[in-house]
Structure 1
Amino acid sequence: MRVQVAVVGGGPVGLLIAAELAAFGVDTVVLEARDDVSEQPKATTLHARAVQCLARRGRLPEGGFGGSVSGSFGGASGGCFAGGSSAADFHFAGVPGLVITVPEGEPVPILKCPQAELERLFERQARAAGARVLRGHAVTGLVEEPDAVVVTAAGPAGPVSCIAQYVVGADGARSLVRELAGIASDTYPATVSALAGQARLVDPGALSPGWHRTPRGWLAAKPDADGSLHLRTLDCAGAQGERGAAPTPEELEREVSRIAGRDIRLAEPRWLSRFSDFTRLARRFRAGRILLAGDAAHVHFPIGGQGLSTGVLDAVNLGWKLALTVRGEAGAELLDSYDRERRPAARRVIENTRAQLGLMRPVPEGDEVARMLGAVLADGGGEGLAGMVSGQDTVYERWVGSADAVRSRGGEGTFLANARLHTGGHRGGAETDLIGMLRGGGPVLLVLGGSVPDLYEELVRPWGGTVRVVRARAAAAVPYGAVLVRPDGYVGWAEAEGGGGGEGLREALAAYFGARCGELAVVGRPPYLRDSFG
C-alpha cells in the first residue's frame, strides 16, 4: 500500500489530522490497533483556542454537541453558532472562581464533549474526505528511507506494509512511532498516585459533586447523565508501586473513603484506571519524514482539562502545513515551523500543570493558599491564568521574514479574532465573518478598508493556486489594512491600513508557500479554494 501520509493512531488527534489532510486532497491512511472507538470516559474538555480553531476549520458539527456551541455572527459560519459574547466558570488547581471569556462572535470558551463522540465525528469527516481508516491494524515496525517511510502492521488478514511519504505518530503516551524513530524525551518521574472510575453512590448524599480537598488528598466528583459519578482521587504521598496493575473496585472505594475521611460505599464501578503526574516532552516533534502529535509528543498531569485541547491544536497546526508540503506548495521551513510553534506551547502546558499540582500538594498553609487564590480569582485577578489555561494567550514565534520586517509590521504569530465582513467580488459580495471565510479552506489574504486590492492581487499572483485573495469591509475595527490569515486562524503577515503597500508580503509568501518564479497562470483552483466570495 502506497500513500502520501500514514497516520498511526486513531484517537481524536490522529483522526483530526487525517480529516485535515484528506480535505486538502492528500492520500491518507490511518492505522489504528483498536477495532472500534473506546467508550471509556477520557477527556471531555475543549478549551477556547482549540474550539476557535476547529470552528475556522469547519470541524464543529452543525447544531454543536447537543446544542452546546454558540458564538459567531452567523453568516457562513454554520447553524451551530448563535451570537453573543460568553464566559465560563472554571478552576485553577481545583480552586473555583477562574472565569474564561472569549471575544464577541467566537464559539463558547469551554466546549464539553466526550472524547468518544469527538473521535466518531472526526472519523466521519476523515472518511467523507477520502481518508482510509484501517481499524484492527497494530503497527509493528517503522523504517525511514531517503524518500519514504515503510510502516508495517499486523492486520485482521495478516501483515500489512505501507509505504508513505510522511508518517505522523499520534499513537499516545507509549508511542511506538516515537520509540522506533529514536526521538528522545525530557521526562519528570511520577510523584503522586491517582485513580479514576465511574460509579454510583449507595448513599446519594455521601459525596457532593465538585472538588474536595482534605488533609489526605483530593476527590473530584462529576455527575453523569445516568446518575453516576465520574470519580478522580489524588494522593500526593508518593507514586504508585505497580503502575501497570489494574485497580479493583474495592481499591477505588477504599481510596475514596480514605481521602474523604468517612465510609463511602460505591455501586456498579466501571472504567477503572490509574494515572499520575509522569510528564514527558519529546525533544523534537519532527525527525525527517516522521512527526509526532498529541500524547505521543507530550504528556502531563491531567489537571485543567488541557490535554485534549493541546493535541487538537497540534493537529490543526500540522494538518495544513503537512498537506501543502506533500502537494509541493510549501516553503522549505514550513514543516519545521510545526516544531517551532507547538513544542513551546506544549512546554507551557507542562509548566502550568506542574505549577497547579504544586498548589494542590498538602502543606500546613494549604487552606490559606486556597482561600487566597480563590479570593484573587473571585476578584477578577485570574485573567492571565485564564488566557494560559484556555490557550488564548498563545503567540507563535515570528519565524517568517527578516527581523527588520517583523519589527516594522507586527501581528505575525497572533490569532485574528472573528469579525463581521462584507466581501466584494464579481458576484456582488456577501455578508459573512472571518470564521465563515476560513471555514475548512486554505490560506487567505484578506484585503480590508482603504487598501488597494489590485496591488495585493498582483503580489499574490504567483501563489494564486494556493492563496485566495478576499476583498472585504469589516463591520468593526480590524487592526490591519491587509492580513495573510493562515488556515488555523493565525496571522502569517500583516500591515496597518494605508501603510507599507505590501512590503514584505512576497517574502512571507515565499517563506510559507515556497519561492515562485514569474507569474504563474492558474488554470483552476483546488476544491478547497472554491468559494462564493469572488
Structure 2
Amino acid sequence: MDQVIISGAGPVGLWLAAELRLGGVPVTVLEARKERDPHSKALTVHPRTLEVLAFRSVAERFLTEGLRIPNGHFGGLENRLDFQVLDTPFPFTLALPQTRTEELLEEHAVSAGARVRRGHRVVGLTQDADGATVNVEGPDGPYTLAAAYVVGCDGTRSTVRGAAGIDFPGTGATTWGWLADVILDEPPQGPLSMSGPHGGMMAVPLSGRIHRLVGGDPAGTRPDRPGELTLEELRGTVIRIAGTDFGMRDPVWLSRFGNATRQATQYRKGRVLLAGDAAHMHFPAGGVGLNVGVQDATNLGWKLAATMTGRAPEGLLDSYHTERHPVGAELLLSTRAQTALLTGYSTEGQALRTLLSQLIATVPEFSRVLAERLSALAVGYPPAESGAHPLTGHRAPDLAFADSTETLFTLLHSGRHVLLDLTGKDGPALEQLARNAAPGLTVHSAPLSEPHAGWSGVTAALIRPDGHVSRAVDERDDGAVPIGLLQDMWPARSAVGEGVDVRLSSSCSALPNGSS
C-alpha cells in the first residue's frame, strides 16, 4: 500500500499526480470517463496558476497556445481589472480551453510516471488507520485497490467525499446562468462584457469563428433549473442584452449552471483528502474554480509526498486543511459577491455596478487589491507561531539574483525546499550543511539583482516547494544565515558538518521536522 489513489483525471487530479511523482510517490489516477469531455467548462488560467506551472518548468507549454488577456473582470463590471500592475512574470489571464489544459497536464503527469486509468469509476471506499481500499467499476468488471491515501478530485458530486462521510453544507441554486459555444459570423472585436436590466453577458473568442458566450438574465432568477437551453432562446436573450445576435449559428455546446455554493467541512478525514470541486462548489464567477483547485493540489502534493516517504513531521498533512480551507471560504465569499453583481438587473443593482466600476477605473489601489485577490497572488498562510518574520507564509515572488540568470521559480523546478542566502557570503558552508544535515534541500547563495518590495534587509529565507515563505530572517541577525532556518528539519541527519559557519537564531524558529 505504498501508492496514492486519485479519483478524477481533471486538471486538479492530474496536477496532483505529477506533484506526487515529483516527490517520489507511486500514484494511480482513476477516471470514470472513457474519453475526455470535449466541452471546456473552464477557459481561464490566472497568474498564480501560471506561476505554479512555472515552478515545475511547464508554463511555457501553456503560454505558447493560450490567448493572453492583460486584464480580468470582477462580477462582469464594465471597467476591468488591470493585471499588468501585478508583481508577477505573468501579468495577464490566459484563455485556454480546459480540454487542452487537461491534455497538457496529463502529458506532464504521465511523463512523470503517473498511471492514468480511464473508464474506471470509483464507487466506494473503506479506510482504517493503516490505509484505504477503493471499490472500482472497470471495463472488465468490479475490483478493489489498496492505497495509503485516497484523494477525491472527482467534482462537486464527489463519490470519495460521500464515502468518507465528509459533510458538504451550503446553499442551493437561486439563479441560473447560461453558456454557449457557437459560431459568430459578426463577432465583437475582442473580449466583450456588458450588462443592463435585460441581463449581462460576456463573449470570448475560442478557435476559428467559435466564441464562448456566458451570461444570465432575469428569467434565470429561480430556485428550479430551467429547461434545456436552445439556440433560439439564446438568440432572443442575447438580442435583448446586446441588441444583436452577432450572427450566431451552429452551436457546439449549450448549457446552464446554477449558483449552488458549498464547502466540505473537512479537507482531510483520516486517509481521505479532497481537492478542487470536491472540496468547494460555487458559481463560476471570475473563472477561478480550476485555478483554486490546482493551487489546492500544489499545497497538498509536497505535504502528502513528504508524509508518504517518511520525511514529514507530525501534523504536516493536517496543515493542508488548516491552510486551504480558509482559501476555499474566501473563494465562496468572492463568487457570491460577484454573483450579486452579475445578477444585479434591478435599477439599484445597476447603480451598484456603475459605482463599483467607477471605483475600479478611478482608484488604482482598489483595482489592484481586487486583481490580487482574483488572481490568487494575495493568498498567504498565517504562521502558527507569534513573532514570525512578516514574510512568513506569504507567496514568494520570482526573485532574480546577481550571480546568474536563475530565478527563484527555476530553483523550484525540483520540487524541493529552497534555502536562499541573500548575503552571498555563506554559500560553501550552506552547501556543506545541505549535504550533511538537509538532503533534498536546494541552496542558493547570492544577493538579489535588484531591490524587491518587502524583501529589503532580508538576509536569508527558506521557500517551500509550493512557493510560499517558510521562514525568513533579516539583517537584525547580524548578516549570517542562522541554522534556526533548518534545525530539526531532518532529525535523522541533524549533525552540522565540520566548519559550517552558521549559528542558532532565536528570532527564527525551526521548520517542522522533515518538511522537505
- Give CA-to-partner distance per residue, 1:329-372, whole Å, 9 cap, x none: 11112111111111111111111111122223222233333332
> Of the candidates 324, 338, 346, which is equivalent to residue 328 of structure 2?
346
Measure, in 2, the Cα distance between the counterparts of 1:263 and 1:31.
42
For 2:401, what is the secondary structure of its paired residue? Answer: strand
Q: Sequence identity of aligned pairs in percent? A: 37
What residue is the counterpart of 2:503 in the other structure?
A: none
- Give CA-to-partner distance per residue, 1:51-77, whole Å, 9 cap, x none: 1122112232358332767xxxxxxxx
What residue is the counterpart of 2:378 in the other structure?
A: 393
Query: Contact (CA 8 Å) 1:57, 1:487: kept in 2 or not?
Result: no
- Give CA-to-partner distance per residue, 1:275-302, whole Å, 9 cap, x none: 0111111111111111100000011111
Query: Contact (CA 8 Å) 1:12, 1:122: kept in 2 or not?
Result: yes
> Of the candidates 484, 487, 497, which is equivalent to residue 505 of structure 1?
484
What residue is the counterpart of 2:513 in the other structure?
A: none
What residue is the counterpart of 2:308 in the other structure?
A: 326
For 2:213, what is the secondary structure of its paired residue? Answer: strand
Measure, in 2, the Cα distance between the counterparts of 1:353 and 1:63.
26
The one-letter code matched in structure 2 to 1:233 is G
TM-superposed CA distance for 1:240, in Å, is 5.2
What residue is the counterpart of 2:38 in the other structure?
A: 39
Query: Contact (CA 8 Å) 2:380, 2:395: kept in 1 or not?
Result: yes
The one-letter code matched in structure 1 to 2:95 is K
Query: Contact (CA 8 Å) 2:203, 2:211: kept in 1 or not?
Result: yes
Q: Post-superposition, which runs of at least 4 consecutive aligned residues in structure 1 deviate over 3 A?
A: 101-105, 205-209, 245-266, 450-463, 500-504, 513-518
Measure, in 1, the Cα distance between the counterparts of 2:396 and 2:67.
23
| More off after superposition, 477-486 vs 230-239 | 230-239
Measure, in 2, the Cα distance between the counterparts of 1:306 and 1:159.
36
C-alpha distance 376-104 of structure 1, shift in aligned 2 (>3 A): closer
The one-letter code matched in structure 1 to 2:484 is L
Query: Contact (CA 8 Å) 2:21, 2:27: kept in 1 or not?
Result: yes
TM-superposed CA distance for 1:208, in Å, is 9.3
Measure, in 1, the Cα distance between the counterparts of 2:287 and 2:464.
26
What residue is the counterpart of 2:338 in the other structure?
A: 356
Measure, in 2, the Cα distance between the counterparts of 1:416 and 1:464.
21
TM-superposed CA distance for 1:160, in Å, is 2.6
What residue is the counterpart of 1:239 in the other structure?
A: 222
TM-superposed CA distance for 1:156, in Å, is 1.2
Q: Does 1:182 align with 2:165?
A: yes
Query: Contact (CA 8 Å) 1:447, 1:481: kept in 2 or not?
Result: yes
What residue is the counterpart of 1:91 in the other structure?
A: 73
For 2:322, what is the secondary structure of its paired residue? Answer: helix
Task: Within 5 Å, give how 1:265-284 maps onto structure 2.
Answer: 266-284=248-266
What residue is the counterpart of 2:400 in the other structure?
A: 420
What residue is the counterpart of 2:49 in the other structure?
A: 50
What residue is the counterpart of 2:177 in the other structure?
A: 194
What residue is the counterpart of 1:216 in the other structure?
A: 198
Structure 2 length-normalised TM: 0.86
Task: Within 5 Å, give how 1:63-462 maps onto structure 2.
Answer: 64-66=63-65, 88-95=70-77, 96-101=79-84, 106-201=89-184, 204=186, 210-236=192-218, 238-239=221-222, 241-242=224-225, 246-257=228-239, 259=241, 266-360=248-342, 361-379=344-362, 380=364, 381-399=366-384, 402-404=385-387, 406=388, 409-422=389-402, 430-449=404-423, 452-453=426-427
- Give CA-to-partner distance per residue, 1:307-340, whole Å, 9 cap, x none: 1111111111111111111011111121111111
**Structure 1 residues without counterparts, runs of 5 or longer:** 70-86, 424-429, 522-534
Q: Does 1:485 align with 2:430?
A: no
- Give CA-to-partner distance per residue, 1:410-444, whole Å, 9 cap, x none: 31101111122255xxxxxx541111111243111
TM-superposed CA distance for 1:251, in Å, is 4.0
Query: Contact (CA 8 Å) 1:447, 1:482: kept in 2 or not?
Result: yes
| More off after superposition, 187-196 vs 7-16 | 187-196
C-alpha distance 240-67 of structure 1, shift in aligned 2 (>3 A): closer
- Give CA-to-partner distance per residue, 1:175-204, whole Å, 9 cap, x none: 111111111123122111112111234x73
Measure, in 2, the Cα distance between the counterparts of 1:32 and 1:519.
46
Structure 1 length-normalised TM: 0.84
What residue is the counterpart of 2:502 in the other structure?
A: none
- Give CA-to-partner distance per residue, 1:365-417, whole Å, 9 cap, x none: 33333332222212224111111111111111213xx424x2xx331101111
Query: Contact (CA 8 Å) 2:433, 2:496: kept in 1 or not?
Result: no
Query: Contact (CA 8 Å) 1:191, 1:276: kept in 2 or not?
Result: yes
Measure, in 2, the Cα distance between the counterparts of 1:63 and 1:354.
29
What residue is the counterpart of 1:473 in the other structure?
A: 447
Query: Contact (CA 8 Å) 1:22, 1:131: kept in 2 or not?
Result: yes
For 2:59, what is the secondary structure of its paired residue? Answer: coil
**Structure 2 residues without counterparts, runs of 5 or longer:** 498-516
What residue is the counterpart of 1:26 in the other structure?
A: 25
For 1:269, what is the secondary structure of its paired residue? Answer: strand
